[in-house]
Structure 1
């Protein structure tokens, strides 16, 4: 207690102190004290919570931190004691998509781009290959359910979208969310929505929350606040998978609840519900800046996460929960930096609440991203500048440029216009660059801003969080989860490595080093 009090006083001193040499020495001393105080937690993880910021690159995190509370602040996960980097390449692509990266994160197996829950033997659109169960990979949801744990996932995207789908589905094309997208030649394959409701482990997931009504129910209608998602599948085969979900739970005498707006979610008595389905939008949940926050609107990621934990924590053997801030990526694809930063802050809010709710002595919390993006943080703006503002004028054309820009972008991110037959860069200072609908300029114009291939950060706290410690392959994360919770491939492992395991790992490391020479 005394040490914590001293550290608190030092922090308060820093807040009000001049940033002279003493200030920076004291700041570093506090960080050293905090680092020295860290102890490895080698207890078995009763609970595991994984947060994924879709498309949350390092520059996205830095910019969101400044956007939220300035350069000296931290987002919820940035002071977690263990961190590393993840390599995100696919088996066939240097720059990945979300389905393949989520498969790696959640199953421990890297795979091909746009493929869901299958190994590298199956390429995109290979229906026949996807039916071969020897190519199916189990996810952390499978492993947790086999160990008797409650499972759940929460997302701001469609519940059938590329990131959540590998938790429960095996599909050779991430676009096959409903029957309309599957070609007749592949009619033997079941769409992702049906796999969620009809198959294991999907039908045994206790908490499912997000959007995607138009995949689960046929011929739904849109409204001004909840339009039909024209970018995604739209079912018309007469299905009502929401009713099928309810009927399945009723037939098994399970306590369940289906909710479709914020008020209904708030009225859930978590003590009386074991299976909770929340479908709050036809497509993705609305971007936070434009979300209907009223009682008949859509809940925040924080509110969904909080309820999910309340429902799942009743399980005596613990739980596994995956939470996706999926609209960070959605905003980046359209070149809307302001929206991406706000979505990142909302993910931070959900994580802050989680860290207050759970016991970190027996709960492993991991925060990471599935892939990078082409957002760039440019020089040389003054400290304290609005991160969404103007940096300075280019020394070449004397036209200002914004602090944030994109490497690639869609037509709205166009940087040049024709004037008198010559290409001239558009002056961003003539626009409100902080507006949520403003599109930052991009270097290369395609149909949208593309993913980046850079490594993404990973942060962890709780049991065996120290296994996150360097640059890792993306599939390593699922193995850390399984080892910490003693589920799946590590269900029979003790917390102490066996001698033969150490020898095998050493041989592999030496062999890899030789190959690299």
Structure 2
């Protein structure tokens, strides 16, 4: 029998239990294998025909690390952890050190950093400033615009509402991420179009070939909920008489004499017409069900992996010129906000499954796959747990002798903030009195808040395929858009080499004038604290 402290794992093979021992020989062999892989690293320098950008919303490094252990074991790897190229992204927004999802998505998708709670506009637009957001110079284009101009197919898939913060930055220009439908726009901003309306009626939204996610209640007025598909009380709920943007979407395609399909459940997705020119999959009133709770039957909602596979099939057949696809694991963030760590880990593993699907369906020589996050969360992994314990266990405090979960949150709602005052002393309840491995369990937090808030910690970006080596250092989050543009030769770098063309910026560093550059040595350096 193998001793626990030196056993890597047990493998059941032809009826025998095989012990892998983590002795010196094991670590030396593992080190040699990793070094050999690094020395054989392949650089693919040709132009990328296709792009798939995966965004794990709220998936900071702690989430990714703990999800790996949770889903694959500490010696395993999530799908993107097999990639050879990675970098670090600085995620601050134009006006916040700790950002939200729409400002960070704007940075990644357009190359321009935006203010908190705004999407598809530059930093001249403050939150709620409708007039500023309507000015064309303030509106910024995403790589969806660039791809459509270059004649490529486009699509996005999300487990959130299709009008939610992250996807909105692909196609909308809004001074408030909450304006997903008309009901949330104040009277003094009536001139602004809501996000759902822009998706169906404006470019590039109306020209996106594949759209999949939730958000029916933002597209159609007065939708009814059910136990299986409730109305999302956190979201915008359209009540405008006669509003039916799904029908408007159909009418637009009919006027353009384009084939189309609307999908509503697993059966529709399974039986979809792969030759349809446009596909709209709206599978929920609000966000899609979490992976562990969704109905996998014909009437249920699809997984992120299912939608990813369907989108790749549709886009790859539609256009020989290639495609771009954004895939968001949005429920990672939603579950973190509630302080449900196990749900967040489970959703991260579901994102890994979707990435695996993409890896198996694409060619590394022509498809650039990028996996990253928009921001981190305040979850921490602590307590010195034994490897045999797993990530959902507890450690014991040496100060008050009360156990604490190895996963904790910096901030949290009432279910997370578990401190009580007894005899003029602050005490924590013993978490082992509850089922701490249950999906509904809320990890303890330090500060009481309305919900778990984001973290401003940097995130990682992983890449595989043509020009994946462009991710190799600490980058601004906005750099992602420029790397995409250059790798695919669309948008900013369409048809030109930025290192050879005289108009590319070789004579203008970040747009600075020559006179300003001359003055640089004489300008003092100021540090704002």
* TM-score range relative to shorter protein: over 0.9
Matched residues in 1 for 2:180 and 2:144: separation? 19
Matched residues in 2 for 1:292 and 1:384: separation? 32
Query: Which residue does 1:319 correspond to in 2?
Result: 323
Query: Which residue does 1:75 correspond to in 2?
Result: 78
CA contact (8 A) 2:261 2:273 kept: no
Question: Which segments of 5 or more consecutive residues in structure 2 lack a partner in the other structure?
Answer: 1-17
The CA deviation at 1:290 is 1.8
The counterpart of 1:51, out of the listed 46, 49, 54, is 54
Matched residues in 2 for 1:225 and 1:366: separation? 33
Residues 90-489 of structure 1 correspond to what in structure 2 (within 5 A)? 90-237=93-240, 238-270=242-274, 272-314=275-317, 315-390=319-394, 392-489=395-492
The CA deviation at 1:269 is 2.6
CA contact (8 A) 2:142 2:170 kept: yes
**Cα deviation digits, residues 459-500 of structure 1 (max 9, x gap):** 001111100001100000000001000000100213865588
The counterpart of 1:28, out of the listed 28, 31, 34, is 31
- 1:41 paired to 2:44: yes
Determine helix, strand or coil for the equivalent of 2:80. coil
**Cα deviation digits, residues 197-249 of structure 1 (max 9, x gap):** 00000000000000000000000000001100011100011210001111111
The CA deviation at 1:430 is 1.0
Matched residues in 2 for 1:97 and 1:234: separation? 22
CA contact (8 A) 2:499 2:506 kept: no
CA contact (8 A) 1:115 1:174 kept: yes
CA contact (8 A) 1:104 1:111 kept: yes
CA RMSD of aligned residues (A): 2.1
Matched residues in 2 for 1:408 and 1:161: separation? 23
CA contact (8 A) 2:338 2:452 kept: yes
Determine helix, strand or coil for the equivalent of 1:249. helix
The CA deviation at 1:79 is 1.4
Determine helix, strand or coil for the equivalent of 2:462. strand
**Cα deviation digits, residues 390-430 of structure 1 (max 9, x gap):** 1x210110001111010110000023123345321111111
Matched residues in 1 for 2:445 and 2:38: separation? 40
The CA deviation at 1:363 is 0.4
Matched residues in 1 for 2:509 and 2:52: separation? 28
Alignment CA distance shift 1:325-1:393 (3 Å): same
Matched residues in 2 for 1:163 and 1:240: separation? 23
Alignment CA distance shift 1:130-1:77 (3 Å): same
How many residue pairs were aligned? 503
Matched residues in 1 for 2:101 and 2:83: separation? 25
Alignment CA distance shift 1:496-1:359 (3 Å): farther
Query: Which residue does 1:8 correspond to in 2?
Result: none
Alignment CA distance shift 1:357-1:495 (3 Å): farther
Determine helix, strand or coil for the equivalent of 1:143. helix
Determine helix, strand or coil for the equivalent of 2:86. strand
Determine helix, strand or coil for the equivalent of 1:414. coil
Matched residues in 2 for 1:267 and 1:306: separation? 13
Query: Which residue does 1:3 correspond to in 2?
Result: none
Alignment CA distance shift 1:415-1:268 (3 Å): same
Alignment CA distance shift 1:31-1:230 (3 Å): same
Matched residues in 1 for 2:437 and 2:412: separation? 18
Question: Which segments of 5 or more consecutive residues in structure 1 lack a partner in the other structure?
Answer: 1-14
The CA deviation at 1:39 is 2.3
Determine helix, strand or coil for the equivalent of 1:234. coil
CA contact (8 A) 1:140 1:167 kept: yes
Matched residues in 2 for 1:89 and 1:422: separation? 38
Matched residues in 1 for 2:396 and 2:335: separation? 26
The CA deviation at 1:286 is 1.2
